[in-house]
Chain A
Amino acid sequence: MDNLFSQLSTLGSSLILLFGIALLWRKSLRAYTVAFQWQSVALTVMFVLIGYFSQDVELYIVAAFLFVLKVLILPRYLERMEKRFGDHRELRPYVNTVTSLIFSGLLVLLAYVVTRPLVLVSELPTRGGLPLAMGLIFVGLFVVITRKKALTQIVGFLVMENGIALLAVLGTYGIPLIVELGVFLDVLMGFLVMQVFVYHIHDTFESIDVDQMNELKH
Protein backbone atom coordinates (compact mmCIF):
# COMPACT_ATOMS: atom_id res chain seq x y z
CA MET A 1 0.00 0.00 0.00
CA ASP A 2 2.72 2.43 1.05
CA ASN A 3 4.82 1.31 -1.85
CA LEU A 4 2.01 2.02 -4.30
CA PHE A 5 1.39 5.40 -2.65
CA SER A 6 5.02 6.44 -2.92
CA GLN A 7 5.18 5.32 -6.56
CA LEU A 8 2.02 7.19 -7.47
CA SER A 9 3.08 10.36 -5.64
CA THR A 10 6.51 10.38 -7.31
CA LEU A 11 4.88 9.75 -10.67
CA GLY A 12 2.37 12.55 -10.15
CA SER A 13 5.09 14.96 -9.03
CA SER A 14 7.15 14.15 -12.14
CA LEU A 15 4.14 14.82 -14.31
CA ILE A 16 3.51 18.17 -12.62
CA LEU A 17 7.18 19.08 -13.07
CA LEU A 18 7.02 18.10 -16.74
CA PHE A 19 4.15 20.51 -17.37
CA GLY A 20 6.32 23.19 -15.77
CA ILE A 21 9.24 22.38 -18.05
CA ALA A 22 6.90 22.32 -21.05
CA LEU A 23 6.51 26.09 -20.53
CA LEU A 24 10.13 26.57 -21.49
CA TRP A 25 9.71 24.80 -24.79
CA ARG A 26 6.48 26.43 -25.93
CA LYS A 27 6.22 29.98 -27.19
CA SER A 28 2.63 31.14 -27.52
CA LEU A 29 0.75 32.41 -24.51
CA ARG A 30 -2.08 30.00 -25.34
CA ALA A 31 0.31 27.07 -24.87
CA TYR A 32 1.47 28.57 -21.57
CA THR A 33 -2.11 28.78 -20.33
CA VAL A 34 -2.91 25.23 -21.43
CA ALA A 35 0.23 23.86 -19.77
CA PHE A 36 -0.64 25.69 -16.55
CA GLN A 37 -4.20 24.39 -16.69
CA TRP A 38 -3.08 20.77 -17.12
CA GLN A 39 -0.53 21.19 -14.39
CA SER A 40 -3.27 22.37 -12.06
CA VAL A 41 -5.42 19.38 -13.02
CA ALA A 42 -2.52 17.09 -12.14
CA LEU A 43 -2.01 18.97 -8.87
CA THR A 44 -5.71 18.53 -8.00
CA VAL A 45 -5.42 14.81 -8.65
CA MET A 46 -2.36 14.78 -6.41
CA PHE A 47 -4.31 16.44 -3.56
CA VAL A 48 -7.14 13.93 -3.94
CA LEU A 49 -4.64 11.07 -4.02
CA ILE A 50 -2.89 12.20 -0.84
CA GLY A 51 -6.26 12.86 0.79
CA TYR A 52 -7.34 9.32 -0.05
CA PHE A 53 -4.18 7.64 1.23
CA SER A 54 -3.91 9.73 4.41
CA GLN A 55 -7.68 9.64 4.96
CA ASP A 56 -7.89 13.39 5.34
CA VAL A 57 -11.25 14.85 4.28
CA GLU A 58 -9.95 18.43 4.40
CA LEU A 59 -7.69 17.75 1.45
CA TYR A 60 -10.72 17.00 -0.73
CA ILE A 61 -12.11 20.43 0.10
CA VAL A 62 -8.75 22.02 -0.70
CA ALA A 63 -8.65 20.07 -3.97
CA ALA A 64 -12.11 21.37 -4.88
CA PHE A 65 -11.03 24.97 -4.23
CA LEU A 66 -7.84 24.40 -6.16
CA PHE A 67 -9.77 23.03 -9.12
CA VAL A 68 -12.14 25.98 -9.22
CA LEU A 69 -9.40 28.58 -8.80
CA LYS A 70 -6.54 27.22 -10.88
CA VAL A 71 -8.28 25.11 -13.50
CA LEU A 72 -11.40 27.19 -14.11
CA ILE A 73 -10.94 30.81 -13.04
CA LEU A 74 -7.28 31.74 -13.62
CA PRO A 75 -6.94 30.19 -17.12
CA ARG A 76 -10.16 31.98 -18.12
CA TYR A 77 -8.66 35.31 -17.02
CA LEU A 78 -5.41 34.54 -18.78
CA GLU A 79 -7.27 33.77 -21.99
CA ARG A 80 -9.22 36.98 -21.72
CA MET A 81 -6.01 38.96 -21.29
CA GLU A 82 -4.47 37.14 -24.21
CA LYS A 83 -7.44 38.10 -26.40
CA ARG A 84 -7.20 41.70 -25.36
CA PHE A 85 -3.50 42.01 -26.10
CA GLY A 86 -3.54 39.83 -29.20
CA ASP A 87 -1.30 36.85 -29.73
CA HIS A 88 1.94 37.92 -28.15
CA ARG A 89 4.52 35.25 -28.66
CA GLU A 90 7.48 34.96 -26.41
CA LEU A 91 9.79 35.36 -29.38
CA ARG A 92 13.03 36.41 -27.84
CA PRO A 93 13.36 35.46 -24.20
CA TYR A 94 16.57 36.45 -22.42
CA VAL A 95 17.73 32.83 -22.54
CA ASN A 96 16.98 30.79 -25.67
CA THR A 97 14.92 27.63 -25.63
CA VAL A 98 17.65 24.98 -25.68
CA THR A 99 19.69 26.72 -23.00
CA SER A 100 16.67 27.22 -20.78
CA LEU A 101 15.73 23.54 -21.16
CA ILE A 102 19.19 22.46 -20.12
CA PHE A 103 19.14 25.02 -17.30
CA SER A 104 15.85 23.59 -16.08
CA GLY A 105 17.44 20.14 -15.99
CA LEU A 106 20.30 21.55 -13.93
CA LEU A 107 17.85 23.35 -11.64
CA VAL A 108 16.11 20.06 -10.94
CA LEU A 109 19.51 18.53 -10.17
CA LEU A 110 20.15 21.42 -7.80
CA ALA A 111 16.77 20.76 -6.19
CA TYR A 112 17.81 17.15 -5.61
CA VAL A 113 21.01 18.32 -3.94
CA VAL A 114 19.22 20.92 -1.81
CA THR A 115 16.50 18.56 -0.58
CA ARG A 116 18.80 15.60 -0.07
CA PRO A 117 19.16 16.04 3.72
CA LEU A 118 15.40 16.42 4.02
CA VAL A 119 14.70 13.31 1.95
CA LEU A 120 17.25 11.30 3.94
CA VAL A 121 15.66 11.96 7.33
CA SER A 122 12.10 11.79 6.07
CA GLU A 123 10.03 8.68 6.66
CA LEU A 124 7.12 9.85 4.51
CA PRO A 125 6.09 7.65 1.59
CA THR A 126 5.82 10.84 -0.47
CA ARG A 127 9.46 11.85 0.06
CA GLY A 128 10.36 10.92 -3.52
CA GLY A 129 8.33 13.85 -4.78
CA LEU A 130 9.93 16.52 -2.56
CA PRO A 131 12.91 17.29 -4.83
CA LEU A 132 10.60 17.43 -7.82
CA ALA A 133 8.36 19.98 -6.11
CA MET A 134 11.42 22.02 -5.17
CA GLY A 135 12.60 21.74 -8.78
CA LEU A 136 9.24 23.05 -9.97
CA ILE A 137 9.61 26.11 -7.73
CA PHE A 138 13.03 26.77 -9.28
CA VAL A 139 11.71 26.27 -12.81
CA GLY A 140 8.82 28.68 -12.15
CA LEU A 141 11.26 31.25 -10.82
CA PHE A 142 13.43 30.71 -13.88
CA VAL A 143 10.45 31.40 -16.17
CA VAL A 144 9.76 34.62 -14.29
CA ILE A 145 13.36 35.73 -14.62
CA THR A 146 14.02 34.87 -18.24
CA ARG A 147 10.79 35.68 -20.09
CA LYS A 148 10.08 39.18 -21.29
CA LYS A 149 6.32 39.36 -21.60
CA ALA A 150 4.40 40.36 -18.50
CA LEU A 151 1.81 37.65 -19.14
CA THR A 152 4.30 34.80 -19.39
CA GLN A 153 5.90 36.07 -16.21
CA ILE A 154 2.53 35.81 -14.49
CA VAL A 155 2.20 32.20 -15.65
CA GLY A 156 5.69 31.57 -14.32
CA PHE A 157 4.62 32.97 -10.96
CA LEU A 158 1.53 30.75 -10.91
CA VAL A 159 3.65 27.70 -11.74
CA MET A 160 5.97 28.58 -8.88
CA GLU A 161 2.93 28.81 -6.62
CA ASN A 162 1.85 25.36 -7.79
CA GLY A 163 5.31 24.12 -6.81
CA ILE A 164 4.93 25.56 -3.33
CA ALA A 165 1.50 23.96 -2.93
CA LEU A 166 2.91 20.62 -4.09
CA LEU A 167 5.84 20.86 -1.69
CA ALA A 168 3.47 21.69 1.18
CA VAL A 169 1.12 18.81 0.50
CA LEU A 170 3.92 16.29 -0.05
CA GLY A 171 5.82 17.36 3.05
CA THR A 172 2.97 17.80 5.52
CA TYR A 173 -0.07 16.04 4.02
CA GLY A 174 -1.87 19.35 3.90
CA ILE A 175 -1.48 22.46 6.00
CA PRO A 176 -4.57 23.55 7.99
CA LEU A 177 -7.56 24.40 5.86
CA ILE A 178 -7.69 28.03 6.99
CA VAL A 179 -4.06 28.61 5.94
CA GLU A 180 -4.72 26.95 2.62
CA LEU A 181 -7.72 29.18 1.99
CA GLY A 182 -5.62 32.21 2.88
CA VAL A 183 -3.03 31.12 0.34
CA PHE A 184 -5.68 30.75 -2.34
CA LEU A 185 -7.02 34.22 -1.61
CA ASP A 186 -3.46 35.50 -1.75
CA VAL A 187 -2.88 33.95 -5.14
CA LEU A 188 -6.12 35.34 -6.49
CA MET A 189 -5.40 38.82 -5.13
CA GLY A 190 -1.81 38.71 -6.35
CA PHE A 191 -3.03 37.67 -9.75
CA LEU A 192 -5.61 40.46 -9.92
CA VAL A 193 -3.06 43.06 -8.85
CA MET A 194 -0.66 41.80 -11.52
CA GLN A 195 -3.46 41.93 -14.05
CA VAL A 196 -4.04 45.59 -13.23
CA PHE A 197 -0.31 46.20 -13.61
CA VAL A 198 -0.29 44.49 -16.98
CA TYR A 199 -3.15 46.66 -18.18
CA HIS A 200 -1.27 49.75 -17.07
CA ILE A 201 1.97 48.62 -18.69
CA HIS A 202 0.04 47.98 -21.87
CA ASP A 203 -1.64 51.40 -21.75
CA THR A 204 1.64 53.20 -21.19
CA PHE A 205 3.94 51.37 -23.57
CA GLU A 206 1.42 49.78 -25.98
CA SER A 207 3.22 46.49 -25.40
CA ILE A 208 3.52 44.05 -22.56
CA ASP A 209 7.21 43.59 -23.09
CA VAL A 210 8.69 44.45 -19.71
CA ASP A 211 12.01 45.17 -21.38
CA GLN A 212 10.58 48.50 -22.43
CA MET A 213 10.24 49.55 -18.82
CA ASN A 214 13.95 50.32 -18.90
CA GLU A 215 12.93 53.51 -20.70
CA LEU A 216 11.56 54.77 -17.41
CA LYS A 217 15.13 55.19 -16.18
CA HIS A 218 15.93 57.85 -18.74
Chain B
Amino acid sequence: MLTGFLLEFSQALLVLMLAPGLAGFVRWVKARLQNRRGAPIWQPYFELAKLFGKEVVISNNASWLFRVTPYIVFASALAVTFLVPFIAAPLPFDNVGDLLVVVYLLLLGTFFLALAGLDPGTAFGGMGASREMTVAGIAEPTIALSIFSLALGAGSTNLSHIVIATLDNPGVALGPGHLLAFAALFVVTLAETGRLPVDNPSTHLELTMIHEAMILEYSGRYLALIEWASWLKLTIFFSLLANLFIPWGLALTLTPAALAMAVFTLIIKLAVLGVVVAVVETRIAKLRLFRVPELLGMSFVLALLAVTSSFLLK
Protein backbone atom coordinates (compact mmCIF):
# COMPACT_ATOMS: atom_id res chain seq x y z
CA MET B 1 0.00 0.00 0.00
CA LEU B 2 2.73 2.41 1.05
CA THR B 3 4.86 1.59 -1.99
CA GLY B 4 1.79 2.25 -4.13
CA PHE B 5 1.37 5.75 -2.73
CA LEU B 6 5.08 6.34 -3.02
CA LEU B 7 4.92 5.30 -6.66
CA GLU B 8 1.99 7.64 -7.34
CA PHE B 9 3.68 10.63 -5.75
CA SER B 10 7.04 10.00 -7.35
CA GLN B 11 5.33 9.63 -10.72
CA ALA B 12 3.48 12.93 -10.31
CA LEU B 13 6.66 14.62 -9.16
CA LEU B 14 8.61 13.21 -12.10
CA VAL B 15 6.04 14.45 -14.61
CA LEU B 16 5.88 17.82 -12.87
CA MET B 17 9.64 18.20 -13.13
CA LEU B 18 9.82 16.82 -16.67
CA ALA B 19 7.12 19.05 -18.16
CA PRO B 20 9.08 22.34 -18.52
CA GLY B 21 12.02 20.39 -19.87
CA LEU B 22 9.85 18.83 -22.58
CA ALA B 23 8.50 22.25 -23.61
CA GLY B 24 12.07 23.59 -23.70
CA PHE B 25 13.19 20.60 -25.74
CA VAL B 26 10.48 21.11 -28.37
CA ARG B 27 11.40 24.80 -28.58
CA TRP B 28 15.09 23.92 -28.91
CA VAL B 29 14.53 21.36 -31.70
CA LYS B 30 12.35 23.87 -33.51
CA ALA B 31 15.02 26.54 -33.22
CA ARG B 32 17.67 24.16 -34.55
CA LEU B 33 15.44 23.22 -37.49
CA GLN B 34 15.05 26.90 -38.30
CA ASN B 35 18.82 27.47 -38.21
CA ARG B 36 18.71 29.33 -34.93
CA ARG B 37 20.79 28.45 -31.91
CA GLY B 38 17.77 28.46 -29.64
CA ALA B 39 17.45 28.90 -25.90
CA PRO B 40 18.83 26.04 -23.79
CA ILE B 41 16.45 23.22 -22.94
CA TRP B 42 16.23 24.28 -19.28
CA GLN B 43 15.10 27.81 -20.16
CA PRO B 44 11.46 27.13 -19.07
CA TYR B 45 12.70 26.32 -15.53
CA PHE B 46 14.33 29.75 -15.35
CA GLU B 47 11.13 31.31 -16.68
CA LEU B 48 9.14 29.62 -13.93
CA ALA B 49 11.63 30.76 -11.28
CA LYS B 50 11.50 34.31 -12.63
CA LEU B 51 7.69 34.42 -12.76
CA PHE B 52 7.30 32.98 -9.26
CA GLY B 53 9.54 35.78 -7.96
CA LYS B 54 7.55 38.53 -9.61
CA GLU B 55 4.76 40.66 -8.26
CA VAL B 56 1.20 39.95 -9.36
CA VAL B 57 -0.68 42.76 -11.07
CA ILE B 58 -4.44 42.33 -11.33
CA SER B 59 -7.00 44.48 -13.07
CA ASN B 60 -9.47 46.33 -10.83
CA ASN B 61 -12.34 44.72 -12.68
CA ALA B 62 -11.18 41.18 -12.05
CA SER B 63 -13.26 39.07 -9.68
CA TRP B 64 -12.34 36.15 -7.41
CA LEU B 65 -12.73 33.89 -10.45
CA PHE B 66 -9.65 35.42 -12.01
CA ARG B 67 -7.62 34.73 -8.87
CA VAL B 68 -8.77 31.19 -8.32
CA THR B 69 -8.45 30.00 -11.93
CA PRO B 70 -4.66 29.45 -12.00
CA TYR B 71 -4.94 27.13 -9.02
CA ILE B 72 -7.82 25.18 -10.57
CA VAL B 73 -6.03 24.86 -13.90
CA PHE B 74 -2.83 23.70 -12.25
CA ALA B 75 -4.57 21.37 -9.79
CA SER B 76 -6.68 19.69 -12.47
CA ALA B 77 -3.60 19.04 -14.61
CA LEU B 78 -1.74 17.77 -11.57
CA ALA B 79 -4.60 15.46 -10.65
CA VAL B 80 -4.42 13.86 -14.09
CA THR B 81 -0.77 12.96 -13.52
CA PHE B 82 -1.93 10.61 -10.76
CA LEU B 83 -4.33 8.75 -13.05
CA VAL B 84 -2.36 8.23 -16.26
CA PRO B 85 0.13 5.34 -16.32
CA PHE B 86 3.36 7.23 -17.01
CA ILE B 87 5.92 4.76 -15.72
CA ALA B 88 4.01 1.85 -14.23
CA ALA B 89 0.76 -0.08 -14.61
CA PRO B 90 -1.47 -0.93 -12.82
CA LEU B 91 -1.56 2.08 -10.54
CA PRO B 92 -3.06 2.09 -7.03
CA PHE B 93 -5.23 5.10 -7.98
CA ASP B 94 -6.81 3.23 -10.89
CA ASN B 95 -10.01 2.85 -8.95
CA VAL B 96 -10.23 6.61 -8.43
CA GLY B 97 -10.70 7.54 -12.04
CA ASP B 98 -10.69 6.17 -15.56
CA LEU B 99 -10.30 7.82 -18.94
CA LEU B 100 -13.54 9.80 -18.61
CA VAL B 101 -12.20 11.44 -15.47
CA VAL B 102 -8.93 12.23 -17.23
CA VAL B 103 -10.67 13.80 -20.24
CA TYR B 104 -13.03 15.90 -18.14
CA LEU B 105 -10.38 16.99 -15.64
CA LEU B 106 -8.47 18.39 -18.60
CA LEU B 107 -11.65 20.03 -19.85
CA LEU B 108 -12.26 21.54 -16.41
CA GLY B 109 -8.98 23.45 -16.67
CA THR B 110 -9.86 24.67 -20.17
CA PHE B 111 -13.30 25.76 -19.00
CA PHE B 112 -11.99 27.84 -16.12
CA LEU B 113 -9.27 29.33 -18.29
CA ALA B 114 -11.92 30.49 -20.75
CA LEU B 115 -13.98 31.97 -17.88
CA ALA B 116 -10.91 33.78 -16.59
CA GLY B 117 -10.29 35.12 -20.08
CA LEU B 118 -13.77 36.64 -20.06
CA ASP B 119 -13.58 37.89 -16.49
CA PRO B 120 -11.45 41.08 -16.74
CA GLY B 121 -13.53 42.20 -19.72
CA THR B 122 -10.69 42.82 -22.17
CA ALA B 123 -11.29 42.35 -25.88
CA PHE B 124 -8.45 39.88 -26.32
CA GLY B 125 -9.55 37.71 -23.40
CA GLY B 126 -13.07 37.34 -24.73
CA MET B 127 -11.80 36.57 -28.20
CA GLY B 128 -9.39 33.94 -26.92
CA ALA B 129 -12.06 32.38 -24.74
CA SER B 130 -14.57 32.05 -27.55
CA ARG B 131 -11.93 30.54 -29.83
CA GLU B 132 -10.71 28.14 -27.18
CA MET B 133 -14.27 26.92 -26.65
CA THR B 134 -14.73 26.45 -30.40
CA VAL B 135 -11.65 24.27 -30.51
CA ALA B 136 -12.33 22.44 -27.26
CA GLY B 137 -15.93 21.71 -28.26
CA ILE B 138 -14.76 19.54 -31.15
CA ALA B 139 -11.47 18.33 -29.69
CA GLU B 140 -12.84 16.96 -26.43
CA PRO B 141 -15.23 14.36 -27.90
CA THR B 142 -12.47 13.31 -30.27
CA ILE B 143 -10.13 12.54 -27.38
CA ALA B 144 -12.83 10.55 -25.65
CA LEU B 145 -13.76 8.69 -28.84
CA SER B 146 -10.21 7.80 -29.79
CA ILE B 147 -9.43 6.45 -26.33
CA PHE B 148 -12.80 4.67 -26.36
CA SER B 149 -11.72 2.73 -29.41
CA LEU B 150 -8.83 1.38 -27.32
CA ALA B 151 -11.16 0.79 -24.40
CA LEU B 152 -13.43 -1.32 -26.62
CA GLY B 153 -10.52 -3.57 -27.49
CA ALA B 154 -9.45 -3.89 -23.87
CA GLY B 155 -12.98 -4.20 -22.46
CA SER B 156 -12.37 -1.52 -19.84
CA THR B 157 -12.21 2.25 -19.68
CA ASN B 158 -9.44 2.04 -17.15
CA LEU B 159 -6.23 3.39 -18.63
CA SER B 160 -4.00 0.84 -16.91
CA HIS B 161 -6.19 -2.02 -18.11
CA ILE B 162 -5.98 -0.70 -21.68
CA VAL B 163 -2.20 -0.58 -21.44
CA ILE B 164 -1.96 -4.09 -20.04
CA ALA B 165 -4.38 -5.48 -22.64
CA THR B 166 -2.21 -4.07 -25.43
CA LEU B 167 0.90 -5.55 -23.81
CA ASP B 168 -0.81 -8.94 -23.60
CA ASN B 169 -1.86 -8.88 -27.23
CA PRO B 170 0.76 -6.96 -29.24
CA GLY B 171 -0.94 -7.65 -32.60
CA VAL B 172 -3.68 -5.16 -31.68
CA ALA B 173 -1.20 -2.31 -31.83
CA LEU B 174 -1.00 -2.60 -35.61
CA GLY B 175 -4.74 -2.91 -36.16
CA PRO B 176 -6.59 -0.19 -38.08
CA GLY B 177 -8.48 0.87 -34.95
CA HIS B 178 -5.25 1.64 -33.14
CA LEU B 179 -3.63 3.49 -36.02
CA LEU B 180 -6.69 5.60 -36.78
CA ALA B 181 -7.11 6.45 -33.12
CA PHE B 182 -3.44 7.39 -32.89
CA ALA B 183 -3.76 9.76 -35.86
CA ALA B 184 -6.91 11.30 -34.37
CA LEU B 185 -5.35 11.77 -30.95
CA PHE B 186 -2.21 13.25 -32.49
CA VAL B 187 -4.20 15.96 -34.30
CA VAL B 188 -6.15 16.68 -31.14
CA THR B 189 -2.92 16.88 -29.15
CA LEU B 190 -1.72 19.60 -31.46
CA ALA B 191 -5.02 21.46 -31.05
CA GLU B 192 -5.42 21.05 -27.30
CA THR B 193 -1.88 22.00 -26.39
CA GLY B 194 -1.96 25.04 -28.67
CA ARG B 195 0.61 23.84 -31.20
CA LEU B 196 1.02 25.09 -34.70
CA PRO B 197 -1.64 24.34 -37.23
CA VAL B 198 -4.17 25.54 -34.67
CA ASP B 199 -2.38 28.04 -32.46
CA ASN B 200 1.14 29.44 -32.48
CA PRO B 201 2.78 28.88 -29.09
CA SER B 202 5.70 31.23 -29.68
CA THR B 203 3.99 34.55 -30.32
CA HIS B 204 2.09 37.02 -28.22
CA LEU B 205 1.16 39.43 -30.91
CA GLU B 206 -0.89 37.58 -33.41
CA LEU B 207 -4.50 38.42 -33.94
CA THR B 208 -5.25 34.73 -34.34
CA MET B 209 -3.77 33.64 -31.01
CA ILE B 210 -5.94 31.48 -28.81
CA HIS B 211 -4.17 30.37 -25.64
CA GLU B 212 -2.04 33.51 -25.34
CA ALA B 213 -5.08 35.74 -25.77
CA MET B 214 -6.79 34.21 -22.74
CA ILE B 215 -3.84 34.53 -20.41
CA LEU B 216 -2.75 37.98 -21.55
CA GLU B 217 -3.93 39.54 -18.30
CA TYR B 218 -2.01 37.18 -16.04
CA SER B 219 1.31 37.98 -14.42
CA GLY B 220 3.64 36.77 -11.70
CA ARG B 221 2.98 33.48 -9.98
CA TYR B 222 -0.45 33.15 -11.59
CA LEU B 223 1.13 33.20 -15.02
CA ALA B 224 3.78 30.76 -13.81
CA LEU B 225 1.10 28.31 -12.65
CA ILE B 226 -0.83 28.58 -15.91
CA GLU B 227 2.29 28.13 -18.04
CA TRP B 228 3.36 25.18 -15.95
CA ALA B 229 -0.11 23.66 -16.29
CA SER B 230 -0.04 24.05 -20.06
CA TRP B 231 3.36 22.33 -20.20
CA LEU B 232 1.96 19.61 -17.96
CA LYS B 233 -0.91 19.22 -20.40
CA LEU B 234 1.58 18.83 -23.25
CA THR B 235 3.42 16.13 -21.29
CA ILE B 236 0.16 14.38 -20.41
CA PHE B 237 -1.02 14.27 -24.01
CA PHE B 238 2.36 13.08 -25.25
CA SER B 239 2.41 10.36 -22.61
CA LEU B 240 -1.13 9.28 -23.52
CA LEU B 241 -0.02 8.97 -27.14
CA ALA B 242 3.17 7.16 -26.16
CA ASN B 243 1.91 4.83 -23.45
CA LEU B 244 -1.56 3.92 -24.68
CA PHE B 245 -0.47 3.10 -28.21
CA ILE B 246 3.11 1.95 -27.67
CA PRO B 247 3.07 0.71 -24.08
CA TRP B 248 6.34 -1.24 -24.18
CA GLY B 249 8.81 -0.20 -21.52
CA LEU B 250 6.23 0.46 -18.80
CA ALA B 251 7.06 -1.18 -15.47
CA LEU B 252 4.63 -3.98 -14.66
CA THR B 253 6.44 -4.89 -11.46
CA LEU B 254 7.77 -2.45 -8.93
CA THR B 255 11.43 -3.43 -9.03
CA PRO B 256 14.02 -0.63 -9.21
CA ALA B 257 15.41 -1.93 -12.49
CA ALA B 258 11.99 -1.99 -14.19
CA LEU B 259 11.14 1.48 -12.90
CA ALA B 260 14.47 2.92 -14.05
CA MET B 261 13.87 1.34 -17.45
CA ALA B 262 10.34 2.80 -17.52
CA VAL B 263 11.57 6.32 -16.73
CA PHE B 264 14.23 5.98 -19.39
CA THR B 265 11.78 4.77 -22.08
CA LEU B 266 9.27 7.47 -21.10
CA ILE B 267 11.90 10.15 -21.67
CA ILE B 268 12.90 8.58 -24.99
CA LYS B 269 9.27 8.39 -26.16
CA LEU B 270 8.56 11.97 -25.12
CA ALA B 271 11.72 13.13 -26.90
CA VAL B 272 10.73 11.29 -30.10
CA LEU B 273 7.24 12.80 -30.02
CA GLY B 274 8.78 16.20 -29.28
CA VAL B 275 10.97 15.95 -32.37
CA VAL B 276 7.96 14.86 -34.47
CA VAL B 277 5.90 17.81 -33.25
CA ALA B 278 8.79 20.22 -33.84
CA VAL B 279 9.21 18.93 -37.40
CA VAL B 280 5.46 19.19 -38.03
CA GLU B 281 5.45 22.74 -36.67
CA THR B 282 8.37 23.73 -38.87
CA ARG B 283 6.91 22.12 -41.96
CA ILE B 284 3.41 23.54 -41.94
CA ALA B 285 1.91 26.99 -41.66
CA LYS B 286 -0.85 27.99 -39.31
CA LEU B 287 -4.33 27.23 -40.57
CA ARG B 288 -6.82 30.01 -41.01
CA LEU B 289 -9.05 30.05 -37.97
CA PHE B 290 -12.09 29.07 -40.01
CA ARG B 291 -10.32 26.00 -41.32
CA VAL B 292 -9.49 24.73 -37.82
CA PRO B 293 -12.92 23.10 -37.37
CA GLU B 294 -12.31 21.27 -40.65
CA LEU B 295 -9.04 19.84 -39.35
CA LEU B 296 -10.69 18.83 -36.10
CA GLY B 297 -13.66 17.44 -38.02
CA MET B 298 -11.20 15.26 -39.93
CA SER B 299 -9.70 13.97 -36.71
CA PHE B 300 -13.19 13.39 -35.30
CA VAL B 301 -14.03 11.26 -38.34
CA LEU B 302 -10.77 9.34 -37.86
CA ALA B 303 -11.72 8.67 -34.25
CA LEU B 304 -15.23 7.64 -35.29
CA LEU B 305 -13.81 5.20 -37.84
CA ALA B 306 -11.43 3.88 -35.19
CA VAL B 307 -14.33 3.18 -32.84
CA THR B 308 -16.40 1.57 -35.60
CA SER B 309 -13.61 -0.68 -36.73
CA SER B 310 -12.71 -1.80 -33.23
CA PHE B 311 -16.36 -2.23 -32.28
CA LEU B 312 -17.64 -4.01 -35.35
CA LEU B 313 -14.58 -6.13 -36.06
CA LYS B 314 -14.43 -7.63 -32.62
- The residues of A with any CB-CB pair to B shorter than 8 Å are 3, 7, 10-11, 13-14, 17-18, 21, 25, 97-98, 101-102, 104-105, 108-109, 112, 116, 128, 131-132
Residue of A nearest to B178 (CB): A11
Question: Distance (Å) between the CB of B170 and the closest chain A CB?
Answer: 12
- The residues of B with any CB-CB pair to A shorter than 8 Å are 171, 174-176, 179-180, 293-294, 297-298, 300-302, 304-305, 308-309, 312-313
In the assembled complex, the Cα of A13 lies from the Cα of B309 at a distance in Å of 11
Contact B180 A14 (CB under 8 A): yes
Question: Which A residues are in CB contact (< 8 Å) with B312?
Answer: 112, 116, 131
Contact B309 A21 (CB under 8 A): no
Question: Which A residues are in CB contact (< 8 Å) with B304?
Answer: 105, 108-109
Contact A98 B294 (CB under 8 A): yes
Contact A14 B176 (CB under 8 A): yes
Known: A108-B308, A116-B312. A11 touches B297 (CB 8 A): no
Question: Which A residues are in CB contact (< 8 Å) with B298?
Answer: 21, 25, 101
In the assembled complex, the Cα of A116 lies from the Cα of B305 at a distance in Å of 16
Question: Which B residues are in CB contact (< 8 Å) with A101?
Answer: 294, 297-298, 300-301
Contact A10 B175 (CB under 8 A): yes
In the assembled complex, the Cα of A18 lies from the Cα of B305 at a distance in Å of 10
In the assembled complex, the Cα of A97 lies from the Cα of B297 at a distance in Å of 9
In the assembled complex, the Cα of A132 lies from the Cα of B177 at a distance in Å of 12
Closest 6 CB pairs of A and B: A14-B176, A98-B297, A105-B301, A105-B304, A101-B297, A97-B294
Question: Distance (Å) between the CB of B151 and the closest chain A CB?
Answer: 19
Known: A14-B305, A112-B308, A116-B312. A98 touches B179 (CB 8 A): no
In the assembled complex, the Cα of A98 lies from the Cα of B174 at a distance in Å of 28
Question: Which A residues are in CB contact (< 8 Å) with B301?
Answer: 21, 101-102, 104-105
Contact A105 B176 (CB under 8 A): no
Question: Distance (Å) between the CB of B302 and the closest chain A CB?
Answer: 8
Question: Distance (Å) between the CB of B311 and the closest chain A CB?
Answer: 9
In the assembled complex, the Cα of A17 lies from the Cα of B308 at a distance in Å of 14
Q: Is the interface of B mostly helix, strand, loop or mixed?
A: helix
Question: Which A residues are in CB contact (< 8 Å) with B176?
Answer: 10-11, 13-14
Residue among A14, A17, A108, A116 facing the most chain B CB atoms (10 A cut-off): A14
Known: A21-B301, A102-B300. A7 touches B309 (CB 8 A): no
Question: Which A residues are in CB contact (< 8 Å) with B179?
Answer: 11, 14
Question: Distance (Å) between the CB of A104 and the closest chain B CB?
Answer: 6
A–B pairs, 5, beta carbons within 8 Å: A21-B301, A101-B298, A101-B300, A105-B301, A116-B312
Contact B308 A10 (CB under 8 A): no
In the assembled complex, the Cα of A13 lies from the Cα of B179 at a distance in Å of 13
Contact A102 B171 (CB under 8 A): no
Of the residues B300, B302, B313, contact of A10 by C-beta under 8 Å: B313
Question: Distance (Å) between the CB of B295 and the closest chain A CB?
Answer: 8
Question: Distance (Å) between the CB of B222 and the closest chain A CB?
Answer: 36
Question: Which B residues are in CB contact (< 8 Å) with A105?
Answer: 300-301, 304-305
Question: Which A residues are in CB contact (< 8 Å) with B302?
Answer: 18
Question: Which B residues are in CB contact (< 8 Å) with A17?
Answer: 305
Known: A10-B176, A11-B174, A109-B304. 5 other contacts (CB 8 A): A10-B175, A10-B313, A98-B293, A109-B308, A112-B308
Question: Which B residues are in CB contact (< 8 Å) with A11?
Answer: 174-176, 179
Question: Which B residues are in CB contact (< 8 Å) with A131?
Answer: 312
In the assembled complex, the Cα of A109 lies from the Cα of B171 at a distance in Å of 24
Question: Which A residues are in CB contact (< 8 Å) with B171?
Answer: 3, 7
In the assembled complex, the Cα of A21 lies from the Cα of B183 at a distance in Å of 14
